[in-house]
């Protein structure tokens, strides 16, 4: 982007791991903040995850710098406190009490830097559950989302870390609101604020529509596979060659267009299908009939015809297929990136593309300025900025208080 990014000049120090806290930092970093990821000497354990966690570190830690330091060592803690003294935001997502034990609790940091915004990402906001250990899957189960996602009797977690990512997003929203409130103070004397975001409360927000559905209708929401759809035609169809495609007609105008395009005059003139609500009530026989009529057609033909008349449709796409999605490629939605060897699971750098934040500012996507960092990649650079001389830096490295790659190690 030609102009400065929105958060340029904002410094964020984060003690985070896994997805929730790093998501918050990634959003702030993508918006232009200087985000410094403080890692233990051995590195964020997220770097080493396999399976479904293999992509966590590379995605959620882009546009950040890495400082590897032993914060339990008094000299390491001193480094961190010097960073925090000049920071705008401090973000963490460790178990309650962990930061206090390190001397980095909210009260201590507020005394050091009264203008600091302190953001905590937890499993639960303060209350009866606050000391429970939470994971995305835990709160999906206890918060109604798994029930709504799976078939009756088979609760199923959603296919993404939805609460972790959204919890981080709400942490970032809270941080931005707190910054605005702080900086609005007369004379720039505003004090910082404490922001908390939590997995469980985020999940409750996600299912709030179903809570409200029960409140206004008196009928409990059925799990999505067994739900009564709000729309007459709104489903996945299996067609020629065993391909699948999602097709929809969600208004009376769209229904008329569908019937005209496919010469379904009998359905268009059937009084039992006169309105969307009529079609919802008759889905038990309407959908099997549509399945029979669409079955001989290719998914590509249906897609072309639905697109030509402006009806909603979608191919059933796997995540890996999105690397070649023509829309993402044409609009700059994917950015080239290199995953460091210590976070790739392969012991070598991996060159790939990453999805950017799903927004534009003045028509421009927010850029990927830095790849996810190698462990301690920016330790030397940051120490120098804090006023440490080369002799002091070498001593910290030799004593294992700070870690950095061999060589210059900064970018």
Kindly report the three-state secondary structure assignment for every residue of 341-385. Answer: HHHCCCCCCEEEEEECCCCEECCEECCCCCCCCCCCCCHHHHHHH
Give dist(CA 267, CA 400) in Å, integer.
Answer: 76
User: Which residues, including other chains, have CB under 8 Å from residue 103's CB and lie 6 or more apart?
Assistant: 77, 81
Whether 11-207+333-403 and 231-315 share one fold: the answer is: no
- Tokens for 278, please give them: 């009529």
Note whether 249 and 255 are within 8 A (CB). yes
Closest residue by Cα to residue 35 from 10, 1, 52, 57: 10
Kindly report, residue by residue over 163-222, the tens digit of the pLDDT.
Answer: 999 999 999 999 999 999 999 887 667 899 999 999 999 999 999 999 999 999 999 999
How many other C-beta atoms are found inside a 10 Å radius of the C-beta of residue 272? Answer: 11
Taking the C-alpha atoms of residue 258 and residue 381, their distance in angstroms, rounded to an integer, is 62
Homologous superfamily of the 11-207+333-403 domain (CATH): Crotonobetainyl-coa:carnitine coa-transferase; domain 1 (3.40.50.10540)
Confidence band of 409 (pLDDT split at 50, 70, 90): very low
H/E segment holding residue 169: helix 162-183
Give the Cα separation of 34 and 28 in Å (integer).
Answer: 8
* Residue 110 exposed, middle or buried by CB count within 10 Å (0-12, 13-18, 19+): middle
Q: Among 282, 206, 293, which residue's Cα sits nearest to residue 258?
A: 293
- Residue-wise pLDDT tens digits, 277-288: 999 999 999 999
> pLDDT tens digits, residue range 300-346?
999 999 999 999 999 999 999 999 999 999 999 999 999 999 999 88
Among residues 119, 124, 142, 88, the alpha carbon closest in space to that of 23 is found at: 119
Closest to 164 in 3D by CA, of 368, 16, 352: 16
| Confidence band, pLDDT 50/70/90 cuts, at residue 410 | very low
First-residue to last-residue Cα distance in the chain: 20
Name residue, tokens 């570190």: 57
Q: How far apart are CA 133 and CA 262, in angstroms?
A: 54
Say whether 409 sits in a helix, a strand or coil: coil
68-75 mean pLDDT: 98
- As a 3-state breakdown, the chain gives helix, strand, coil percent values, each rounded to 5, of 45, 15, 40
pLDDT digits (tens, 9 = 90+) for 361-390: 999 999 999 999 999 999 999 999 999 999
Residue 219: exposure state from Cβ atoms within 10 A (0-12, 13-18, ≥19)? exposed
Q: How far is CA 332 from the centre of its chain?
A: 19
Cα 40 to Cα 71: distance, rounded to the nearest angstrom: 7
What CA–CA distance (Å, rounded) separates 144 from 146?
6
pLDDT score at 205: 98
CATH number listed for the domain at residues 231-315: 3.30.1540.10
Percent of the chain with pLDDT over 70: 98
Structural domain boundaries in the chain: 11-207+333-403, 231-315
Q: What is the pLDDT of residues 344-362, one digit of tens each?
A: 988 899 999 999 999 999 9
- Residue 326 neighbours by CB distance under 10 Å: 7
Q: What are phi and psi for residue 147, nearest 5 degrees?
A: -60, -40
Q: What residues have CB less than 8 Å from 73, skipping those under 6 apart?
A: 401
Res 407 pLDDT > 70:
no
């Amino acid at each position: 982007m030609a102009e400065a990014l929105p958060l340029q000049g904002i410094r964020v120090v984060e003690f985070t791991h896994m997805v929730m806290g790093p998501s918050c930092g990634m959003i702030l970093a993508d918006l232009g903040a200087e985000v410094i990821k403080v890692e233990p000497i051995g590195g964020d354990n997220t770097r080493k995850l396999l399976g479904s966690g293999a992509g966590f570190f590379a995605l959620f830690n882009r546009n950040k710098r890495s400082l590897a330091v032993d914060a339990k060592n008094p000299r390491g803690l001193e480094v961190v406190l010097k960073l925090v003294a000049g920071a705008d935001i401090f973000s963490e997502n460790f178990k309650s009490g962990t930061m206090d034990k390190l001397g980095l609790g909210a009260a201590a940091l507020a005394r050091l830097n009264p203008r600091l915004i302190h953001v905590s990402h937890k499993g639960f906001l303060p209350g009866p559950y606050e000391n429970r250990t939470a994971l995305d899957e835990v709160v999906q189960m206890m918060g109604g989302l798994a029930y709504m996602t799976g078939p009756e009797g088979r609760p199923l977690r959603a296919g993404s870390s939805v609460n972790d990512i959204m919890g981080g997003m709400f942490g970032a929203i809270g941080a931005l609101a707190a910054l605005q409130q702080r900086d609005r103070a007369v004379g720039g004397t505003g004090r910082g604020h404490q922001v908390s975001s939590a997995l469980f409360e985020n999940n409750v927000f996600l299912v709030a529509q179903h809570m409200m559905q029960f409140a206004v209708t008196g009928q409990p929401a059925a799990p999505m596979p067994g739900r009564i759809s709000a729309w007459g035609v709104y489903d996945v169809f299996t067609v020629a060659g065993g391909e699948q495609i999602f097709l929809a007609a969600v208004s009376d105008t769209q229904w008329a267009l569908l019937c005209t395009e496919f010469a379904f005059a009998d359905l268009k003139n059937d009084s039992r299908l006169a309105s969307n609500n009529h079609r919802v009530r008759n889905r038990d026989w309407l959908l099997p009939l549509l399945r029979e009529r669409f079955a001989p057609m290719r998914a590509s033909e249906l897609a072309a015809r639905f697109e030509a008349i402006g009806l909603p449709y979608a191919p059933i796409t796997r995540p890996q297929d999105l690397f070649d999605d023509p829309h993402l490629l044409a609009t700059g939605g994917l950015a080239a990136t290199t995953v460091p060897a210590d976070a790739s699971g392969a012991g070598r750098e991996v060159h790939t593309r990453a999805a950017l934040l799903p927004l534009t500012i003045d028509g421009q996507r927010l850029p990927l300025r830095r790849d996810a960092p190698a462990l301690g990649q920016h330790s030397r650079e940051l120490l120098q900025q804090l006023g440490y001389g080369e002799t002091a830096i070498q001593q910290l490295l030799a004593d294992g208080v700070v870690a950095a790659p061999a060589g210059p190690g900064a970018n």
